[in-house]
Structure formats: structure tokens, C-alpha cells
Amino acid sequence: MQDARSTARMRAYGLAAILAMYDLTAVLAALVLAVMLRFEYLRWEILLEHRASLPIMLAIYLLCLYFFRLYRYRWSFASLDMLLSVLAANALATGLSVLVQWHIDGTRLPLSVIILSGMLATILIGAQRLLMRVATWRYERQHAGVRPVVRDGEQRRVIILGSGQSTVEVLNALSRECAGRYEVIGILDDNPLYQGSFLRGIKILGGLDMLHDLLRQHATDEVIIALPSTDGARLRDCVLACCRHKVSVRVVPLIAELLENPSASRGRLRVFDVSVEDLLHRPEQAVARQETAQAYAGKRILVTGAGGSIGSELCRHLIRVNPDVLVMLGHGENSIVSIQRELTRCYPELATRMVTVISDVRDAARIDAVFTQYQPHIVFHAAAHKHVPVMEENAAEAIKNNIGGTRNIMEAADRHGVERMVLISTDKAVKPSCVMGASKFLCEEMMASIARRSATAFITVRFGNVLGSRGSVLPYFQEQILHGGPVTVTHPEMRRYFMTIPEAALLVLEAGAVGSTGNLYVLDMGRPVRIIDLAENAIRLSGLEPYRDINIEFCGMRPGEKLAEDLFSDAEQQQAHTHGRLYVVERVPSLAPDALATLITSLMEAAARNSDPAVIGMLADALPHFRQAMVQAHLQSAERVTSAEI
């Protein structure tokens, strides 16, 4: 090993010496050529006048070239920065040479000779570096390893969308690392200034609107999307066009994504498969992380439901802001161990700050002990039962976990002087028509009520369906597609608001950092999306065609479901928040504190008896929208029975 290092070092020194000799020759040749060009013949007397300063000038040139690291480049990767270094080194050396001539010789060369010699030296030295870059690159490419022979017809034909830096990186990777295996048909970009020009020898054929025609005219194997700033709607159109033609799609990630997810950079051509999150009908909303980091840095933070989709994503973001302690609390040991191992693997230096707690939020004594032991500054309450149809059949469990668990966390936060508690709610709490929605509505009521008398800031965050979360509709669709279909949709006109898991987590963090006690925060999620559109797009993303390869069937609305959800009730007044695309709602409790306390006590007593009918009856008596939904469900059930009898 030591001999190999010594040999490599000697080779580097030898190459640097050869380059230095060439540079000296180039500078002298440039000076002679400059004199000849200026006077149309060689006037030796002009050069002899400066023979005393000439060695020092040459030394200055070498020092400037060394200072700008022109003897320590990896030449196979040298590019514009190398040429700029050559230019800067020659400009500095020329200026210093003039000063040396004045000081030693008492005069200087004619100004035209100085300028010409500097330009010629730059050209000669720069050209030699470019030749080295080409020669070294070709040598390393030929000796990088044995590449498989590509026979005719085995090349993958690709189209690249975008003509920015990401496209340049893709073309470099295809040329350097995947040589012979890819043939680039062309590049598409919506900027009219670029259309018709060439990038790395590949023509920019036109705008993205040409993609459909190109896919129809050419036998394309793959489309690479290198448009990091394109919104989801534009990206969705491109992906769906590829799906119709059964062409695979890749999306080049941002450098920031590669830094945050190092495992994503293992491939030779570093690209990601298109995720369903890219197909939102709106740009994905991001919240500035640095603005929220200060609110959590150095704090003791407790996350309930830390093993769930939202809870685990919260933990991933929170550990990055360097908290004093991150307490991850959950009921399922497997999910808690999973997130703890993931964070320990990614942030081993912070492993001692991560604490795992196995606990049921319904256990008031255990929750109080956790608060006593860790004294959290901030609490995120993400633990909840969320599946609407399941909770319709297990109403007592929904009350125990959602309402009872929230009450335990709230009271512990108030009792132990927690700075902030953030409750994660749902749009199903607006005009609730199901047990799960009614339970979350009452949780919002409890938060608003306790906020009026506690020194702790109690903040609620409400959002719609979360793409990719456990139990959400998209993984269900993907599972059905994997098994050959059919894909089941409840109703052709059912619509929902959607957001991604990162959006949901960042919204919660932002609200927890800037929110005011008693307020409720909602993300601007754009327009609601039809579930049938989501199902069709999921099928196309799998390279199949809906209704031809995979059928879609309507199974009817399930108990507690609505055709469309609302983000705000009629009585709620919302306004845009100054931080990100948030809506803030100054929530006024619908139930008086005494009436709310009585209702919660009665519900908990009925739930303790495991009496689902009693729970549902109390919810119907207290909540008009829930009562109306129950009546409607009863009528629909009677109609189905009548139809069956007929």
C-alpha cells in the first residue's frame, strides 16, 4: 500500500514537472510571437533589454499557475473552472511581470507586446490543458473496466425533458458511465430561446407538447425528466403520456434530495422512479425548514404515534434540527423500533438523544409518568385511530383512543407546563358524518376549550388525505393492480383533498413553530381530486390501461363516508397566514365548556362499557351533522332492503 502511494505521488510530481516545463516554453514562445506580430519580424534587442527580469517573470508565471492549482487538476473532469483559472493566472502573472520589469530594467515592453504575449500564453496553456482533459478522459473511459458489448438493437432509446444543468449531468452520465447503452433521440424544453439549439451535440427539438408525437413516431424505451422546478400538473401530463405509450419514466432528483437520501445515489445513472406524489394536481407545498428549526433546536420533544406515517415523518424532520431529546412514543413496538433504527443509522451521532417509549395513550398513569420523566417542551400528538369504516364498527374504541388519548395528553401537557402541544386533526372533523370524524371534532373542541385557561399553547392542524400513508387509498389501489384488479372505487364523483407525507409533516412543524394558542391551521391543498382519476392514473403509472388491462368497479359508499370533504365549517372564518401557504382559523368552540365536559365524560363511560350503540346515540344527540348522516344512512339501508325484497 505504501509503495503504491509513493509511486502515485512520484507520478503526480513528474506530471507537474512536465507541465511546468511546457508552461515555461509556452510563455517564452508567446513573448517571441508577440514581438514578431507587433514588429512583423523578430527584434532580439527588445528581448535582450529585459534579460535581467526575464527569469523572474518566468518564475512569477509558474507561481501564479501553481497558486491557481493548475498542476493539481483531475483532468478528466476539468471544465470551465479550469479555463477561468488559466485566464486569471495569466492576467495576474502579466500584471506582476510589468511591475518587475519597471523595478529591475527601468522600463517595460511595449503595451501591445504585453497584451499579445498574455493572450498567446493564455491560449497556449489553455489549449494544452484542454488536450490533457480530452486525452485523460478517453484513457480513463477505455480503462475503467470491461463493458458489455452492445449489439444492434440493444441500445435503450431515450428522450430527455429539460435543458438545464440536470440535463447536462444526465448526458455526462450517459456518455461517461453508460457509453453505448443509451441513444438520446432528442431533448425537449418549453423555453423558446433554447429550441433548435444543441446541448452536448443533442438537438433541443421543441417544447414538452411534442412529447406525445415523439413517442408515437419513435420506438422509445425511456423518458428522463430533468425538470426540478416543474410543477406536479405539468409533470403529470408528461408521465401519463409516457404511460399511454408504455414507456418507462425516470425523474432526476435535486442535489438536495441526494444529500438527504444518500442511498439514492448508489446507481450509476442517478435517477428516481416517478412516485405517485409527483402526480398531484398542484405544486407540492414546502415550508421553509430553517424558519422552523430554531423553534425546536435544543428542545425536549415528544411525538405520540411516532411509528405511524405522520409521526415517523415528524421524527425524521425533528432529529435534523438537533433537539435536546426526541421521545418517540407509540403502542406498536415494531413500528417504534423501525423508526428508531432508521434514525440511528442516519444520525449515529444523535443516537443518545433518541428515546423510545412503548405506551398506550389511553393509559393516563403511564402518560403522566412519561411526562414526569422527560419533561418535554413540545408535544406532537399524532396517535389516533383513523380508518373510517373500521371505526364505524368499533365506535367505543374510537372514543377511547382518539378522545381519551387526546384528553390524557392535553391534561399532562397542561399539568407539566409544556410550552406547546400540537394536535393532528382531519378534514373529516368538519361537519362530521362518521365516528372517526366526530371523535376528532370533539378533540378540536377540547383543544379550543383548554387553550382558554392554560398557559400551554394548544394548537390544532387539520389536513386532508395523506398520499402514501398506511391505510390510504393509493397503496390499496397499487395492491389491487399488483393482483390484476379490479380496482374498486366507492363512487364516481367522490372527491378528496390530498397532500404528501412531507407536506403534512412540514405543515405540523410550521404550525407548531408559529401558531398561536387556540388557533387551527390548514394547508392550502388546491382543489379536491376525484378518486376515480387517482385510480386511473395509478393504473397508467403501472404501464397498464384502465378499463382495458385493469377494470375499475364501483363498490358503493361505505358507512360514514361523504362524497366530498370540507376544510372549514360554515361558522369558521379563515385567512391566509404570513408563513407559507397556510390558512389560520380562529376557532370558537361550538360547545360550552360545561356541556363539552359532560359529553366527554358520558362518552368515555359508554366506551368503557364497550357500548357502541350508546356512543353513537350520544354523538347523534350532540352533533347535528352526525345525526343527519345517521338518518341518511338508515334511509339508504332501508332502500337497499326494499330493493332486495322486490
Distance of alpha carbon 480 from alpha carbon 487, whole angstroms: 6
pLDDT band for 420, please (50, 70, 90 cuts).
very high
pLDDT band for 641, please (50, 70, 90 cuts).
very low
Residues in Cβ contact with 64 at an 8 Å cutoff, skipping those fewer than 6 apart:
89, 90, 92, 93, 96
Residue 537 in domain: no
Residue 638 in domain: no
pLDDT band for 3, please (50, 70, 90 cuts).
low
Mean pLDDT over residues 99-112, rounded?
Answer: 73
Over residues 261-307, the pLDDT tens digits come to 444 443 334 343 445 555 555 555 554 456 677 889 899 999 999 99
Distance of alpha carbon 88 from alpha carbon 547, whole angstroms: 64
CATH number at residue 161: 3.40.50.720
Tell me the range of 32-36, 360-364, 474-478 where mean pLDDT is highest: 360-364
Residue 431 in domain: yes
Residue 646 in domain: no
User: What is the pLDDT at residue 574?
Assistant: 62
Mean pLDDT over residues 102-124, rounded?
Answer: 78
DSSP 215-240: HHHS---EEEE--TT--HHHHHHHHH
Domain hosting 450: range is: 293-465+499-523+569-633
User: What is the pLDDT at residue 238?
Assistant: 79
Per-residue pLDDT for 208 more than 80? Answer: yes
Cell of 74: 483531475
Return mean pLDDT, the chain: 79
Whether residues 164 and 254 fall in one domain: yes
**161 sits in which H/E element:** strand 156-161
Whether residues 443 and 574 fall in one domain: yes
Residue 173 in domain: yes
Residue 535 in domain: no
Whether residues 71 and 177 fall in one domain: no
Over residues 553-575, the pLDDT tens digits come to 888 777 667 776 666 665 666 66
Whether residues 224 and 321 fall in one domain: no
Over residues 120-178, the pLDDT tens digits come to 888 888 788 778 777 766 665 555 443 443 444 467 888 988 877 778 878 877 776 66
Mean pLDDT over residues 479-494, rounded?
Answer: 83
Spatial CA neighbour of 495 closest among 470, 475, 525, 522:
525
User: What is the pLDDT at residue 637?
Assistant: 45
Q: How many domains does the chain have?
A: 3
Whether residues 627 and 509 fall in one domain: yes
Distance of alpha carbon 481 from alpha carbon 147, whole angstroms: 37
Mean pLDDT over residues 374-390, rounded?
Answer: 92
Whether residues 264 and 241 fall in one domain: yes
pTM as predicted: 0.62
* Maximal C-alpha separation, the chain: 120
- Count CB-CB contacts under 10 A for residue 577: 19
Over residues 30-74, the pLDDT tens digits come to 888 888 887 766 777 666 676 777 788 888 888 888 887 777 665
**Looking at 113, 142, 171, which one is the last position of a domain?**
142
Whether residues 205 and 97 fall in one domain: no
Residue 24 in domain: yes
User: What is the pLDDT at residue 638?
Assistant: 40
Whether residues 260 and 361 fall in one domain: no
Whether residues 299 and 181 fall in one domain: no
Per-residue pLDDT for 407 more than 50? Answer: yes
Whether residues 177 and 121 fall in one domain: no
**Looking at 239, 274, 309, which one is the last position of a domain?**
274
Whether residues 106 and 180 fall in one domain: no
Distance of alpha carbon 253 from alpha carbon 264, whole angstroms: 9
Alpha carbon separation from 485 to 422, 470, 526, 543 (Å, rounded) = 40, 20, 30, 14
Mean pLDDT over residues 19-31, rounded?
Answer: 84
User: What is the pLDDT at residue 182?
Assistant: 82
User: What is the pLDDT at residue 233?
Assistant: 60
Per-residue pLDDT for 580 more than 70? Answer: no
CA angle 585, 588, 590 (to 5 degrees): 125
User: What is the pLDDT at residue 543?
Assistant: 62
Whether residues 429 and 509 fall in one domain: yes
**Looking at 142, 165, 186, which one is the last position of a domain?**
142
Per-residue pLDDT for 532 more than 80? Answer: yes
Per-residue pLDDT for 413 more than 70? Answer: yes
pLDDT band for 519, please (50, 70, 90 cuts).
confident
Over residues 211-236, the pLDDT tens digits come to 888 888 888 888 888 876 666 566 76
Residue 435 in domain: yes
Q: Are strands 272-273 and 222-225 parallel, antiparallel or unpaired?
A: unpaired
User: What is the pLDDT at residue 272?
Assistant: 38
